Structure formats: structure tokens, C-alpha cells
Structure 1
């Protein structure tokens, strides 16, 4: 499941579903949580279920409501029969939250042998930060891990998660980094959070490029215009692919070598691993 870009769509705006699916995003997230008012929850569930029951053009996730809000079971009951490709779980708190959601999926969704994988938003509560390492225990149920920079500061009474220039303050740099390592520790996709300035394409491109540099494999989006820059950032360039292929070919031609020289630079096992990763992204 390739997840460079994941585009949010409010679940109570079904007229936007097809446009989102045609945006070029690798996946769309039909949202039943924050973007839908309490009065529109039932209508959103019905609209999402109707869409899922049709022909899908793209990987489709559903973001359900948090486990502590007593709406998760109703969300799952409404959409499970239509088999979403994955469930996004907000305010997740480690492997216990995955187990709790699985209990609801089995209860409301039927066939336990075909439970959809889960994409937790892993840093939205203070307690969640201390459970990030536990996702390794539930790795077979995960499609990835992502994080959020909005709910956590609200939960602890912080004024903001960002500096004046848009960069994260120190606590949220830590949350981002821990999510990155937790995802790779579990062997699943590391998905960076949204870039809220919709009209700042340059800022988005720079942010997405840094995310890929740091080891994230994809990023969430809140507007169709953000999809193309995100996809570009997480797709290796022709030069990157050529260099990666040269490294792989060099080691293939010298199977007993631990260290080689290419273009005057020494390369070894970590370079080979990175080269294979780049080629996998290109594929």
C-alpha cells in the first residue's frame, strides 16, 4: 500500500469525495471526527458507507471518532460492512488502543479474519507519548503511524505548537521524532502530519522535502492542491534513482566487498540499504 499522500475529506461533504479521489492522492481519508459536527454525524456515516459500497478509484480510509467519546462503535457499525481499506484512529494510546478498536471491529464488523488495518494518530494526548514504543506489539494490525500537532498542545494548555516562522516548538519536535522512530521500529509507514497553510505551496514543498529527508514515507493533506507537491517530495528524482541503481549494481558486481568506491566516495552497507529503499520508492 503506497502512501505518499493522504487527503482528508469531511464525511458530511459527499460531493467532494469523487474530486478528492481524482486529486492524485495515493489515499483519501473520509473523516467522521473533527470536520463533522455532532449534528451531522449520522448523515456523514451514511454518506461514507454509500461511497465505500461503490467503485473506489483510490485507497480509502475512514477516520472514526476517538475511543473515549462513545461514538466509535456507531462509526464502525455504519462503515464496516463496506470494508474500508483502513481505519484511522485518532487519540490512540498505543497497542491497548489497537486491541480495543479490534474488539469493536469484531463486534460491529463481523468477520475477524478480514479486519481492516489501522492507522493510529499517535500523539494527540499526553499519555500517548509514553505508549509509542508499544506499537511494535501490534505491528501486524498497522498500516502506518502518524501524528498531530494540534490536539496535543490543546490537551496540555500550550499556546501553540509552532514558532513564529512555522517551525515546531521543542515539545512537538520531540513528538514528531518519536512517532518517526516508533513507526520504523514497528516496520510500518511513517506518515507526517498536515501542513495547515493551504496557499503556501513553497512552504509545503519545503516541509515535505524535510519530512522525506528525516525518514518519513508520506504525509497527510487537507486540500487537493497540496497533493502534487507532497507526491513530488516523496518520489525519488531521476538522479536519485540513477545513483541508487549504480550502488546496487556495484555491490552486485562485487559480492564479497564490504566497502566500495563510487565517484570518489566510499560506500558501504548503510548506503546499499538506502539505495534499495530509494529504488523501492521509485517502483
Structure 2
């Protein structure tokens, strides 16, 4: 999954048009909260949109349906989660995650809600959005310990950390991430790669001009990220282009899959003089769209 577009659940106009944005994943975002009456309406809008796009008959191309929740941001976040789960989304982006305990607790709650909503147990995937605070950013390496099987990717929270630091900038000269944000970004990328998970780059928040956006997406791909968030439909094409596999990458992926064809469940094997394992196999399948 290359492009992940975040669409506010309380923005009727954006919800009406996002299906045709060309993104691989549409993430209905419920984090803005508001008073109880407004939030109740918003969660129903999110649920109804997710339900109405199960078959995706009006979309130009198929996309995955996800939702974003930040536990604790609103007193109604559990109600928000229950509502979107009635639509059986493919997954939940969980903001505010800092530790394995956060992920385990959310996964346990998700299991209970799946049972109540008639959703197949353990079918809903999770992407923790990590590093909302300095303490959470320093805890990232501990995520290597016993990652929950629902987790399919890791993302990082550039806006959350910058706000927590009272930072006056997120990027420095030339568009490079500021040092604290770059540190968090690198840690999340390394942990994701070590665990054989997808790694999702934070959304670009600079000028709307296409060139800076394209450079940001190309830089994320060159650094090893497998996808990127977008907050505007105009950014989706640049992300899709940057993360499209090259002919060489597709060829290598096919060789890796062929190497595992005889023993698909082997922990590791030799390939071109080096040892590869299940993480490499998962990445090869993702390159070919088989994940």
C-alpha cells in the first residue's frame, strides 16, 4: 500500500470526493472531536461512509478502508471505535501509541468489539502511530519485543511530537526533518524493517507546489519507507509515483518468492549468497501486490 490519504470524518465535501483520489488506502479520521452532539454526528458519518464503500461501485479504483482513532483525545473515542467497527474496516490507525502495553490493550479492546459487531475475530489490522511525546519517542526500540500479530505497519507522529516539544519548525533548510523528528523517524523505520512490517512516512505539510511534495515522497521511498500518508488529494499522485516498484525491484521480488516456493514456511534460506527470511518474503509479496 503506497498512498494513505487521511480524510476528516467531519468534512462532508472531502468525504464525498475522496473515493476518486486514487489512493491505495482511505483513512477516515475521527480525531478532531468536538462537543458530544457534533461528535455523535461525525461518527455516524464515518460509519455510513465506510459501509457505503464496501463494494466501492463508484470508485475509479479499489482502495482499502481504514479509520484513525486517538485513544484519550476525546471522551467519546470508544464510541467512535465501536461505530466504525460496525462497518468492518480493514484496519485502524491508532494515534498516541507509545509502548507495547498501549498496543496490547488496544488490540484486546478491538477483539471485544469485533465480537460484538459480528466482525471476524482478529481480522482488523492495526497501525500504531508512534512518538507523540518525547518519552514515547525514546521508547521506540522496545517495540522490537513481542510485537502484536495484528500490527501490519508502523507510522510516526511528526505533528504530535513537534507540538509536544513546542517546536517552531518541523523541517530545516532544504526540507530535511529537524533533528528530534528525524531521530523518531529513523527509529520507527528501523524497527519496522527489523520486524518485517511496512513503514509509513508522515504526511507532507509544506507548500502545495508539486515539486517539494514529490521530493518528500521520493526521499521517503529512497530511505526505505513503503508508503506515505497524504492529507490532500493533490499529493496522492506524487506518492503513488514515488513508491511504484521499478522493473528491477519487481524482478528481484519474483526471485525471492521463487526461492521460497519449495519451502514457503522456512524461517530462512540462502539467496544470492546471503540469508533471507520471512520478512524479505513478505516485502517481496508486497512489491508484487500479493500481500
**How does the TM-score come out when normalised to structure 1?**
0.81
Matched, 1:90 2:99: no
Matched, 1:79 2:88: no
Q: Contact between 2:196 and 2:283, CA under 8 Å: does it hold in 1?
A: no
Shift of 1:213: 1.3
Equivalent residue number for residue 255 of structure 1:
none
Shift of 1:144: 0.7
Shift of 1:127: 2.0
Structure (1/2) with the larger helix percentage: 1
C-alpha separation in 2, matches of 1:159 and 1:198: 17
Matched, 1:103 2:108: yes
Shift of 1:118: 0.9
Equivalent residue number for residue 22 of structure 1:
20
Shift of 1:42: 1.6
Equivalent residue number for residue 124 of structure 1:
132
Shift of 1:228: 0.9
Q: Which moved more, 1:187-196 or 1:115-124?
A: 115-124
Shift of 1:47: 0.4
C-alpha separation in 1, matches of 2:104 and 2:78: 14
**How does the TM-score come out when normalised to structure 2?**
0.79
Equivalent residue number for residue 266 of structure 2:
none
Shift of 1:172: 1.1
SS of the residue corresponding to residue 50 of structure 1 reads: helix
Matched, 1:207 2:216: yes
Which of 6, 9, 12 is matched with 2:7 structurally?
Answer: 9
Shift of 1:222: 0.7
Q: Contact between 2:2 and 2:240, CA under 8 Å: does it hold in 1?
A: yes
Which of 256, 279, 287 is matched with 1:281 structurally?
Answer: 287
Give the total of aligned pairs: 266
**Ranges of 4+ aligned residues in structure 1 off by more than 4 Å:** 239-242, 245-248, 273-280
SS of the residue corresponding to residue 165 of structure 1 reads: helix
Q: Contact between 2:69 and 2:93, CA under 8 Å: does it hold in 1?
A: yes
Q: Contact between 2:31 and 2:73, CA under 8 Å: does it hold in 1?
A: no
Equivalent residue number for residue 262 of structure 1:
none
Which of 232, 241, 256 is matched with 2:241 structurally?
Answer: 232
Equivalent residue number for residue 54 of structure 1:
52
Q: Contact between 1:132 and 1:179, CA under 8 Å: does it hold in 2?
A: yes
- CA offsets 1:88-134 (integer angstroms, 9 cap, x no match): 11111121111221233244442682451111111112221233234
Unpaired stretches in structure 1, ≥5 consecutive residues: 252-257, 260-266
Shift of 1:239: 5.6
Distance 1:115 1:268, change over 3 A: closer
Please, what is the CA RMSD of the aligned residues? Answer: 3.1
- CA offsets 1:142-190 (integer angstroms, 9 cap, x no match): 1211012111121122222221432211111111000101212222110
C-alpha separation in 2, matches of 1:276 and 1:11: 32
Matched, 1:153 2:166: no
SS of the residue corresponding to residue 227 of structure 1 reads: helix
- CA offsets 1:164-219 (integer angstroms, 9 cap, x no match): 43221111111100010121222211000001135221111111111111110000
- CA offsets 1:237-269 (integer angstroms, 9 cap, x no match): 346546x48987xx9xxxxxx89xxxxxxx753
C-alpha separation in 2, matches of 1:276 and 1:71: 36
Distance 1:246 1:20, change over 3 A: closer
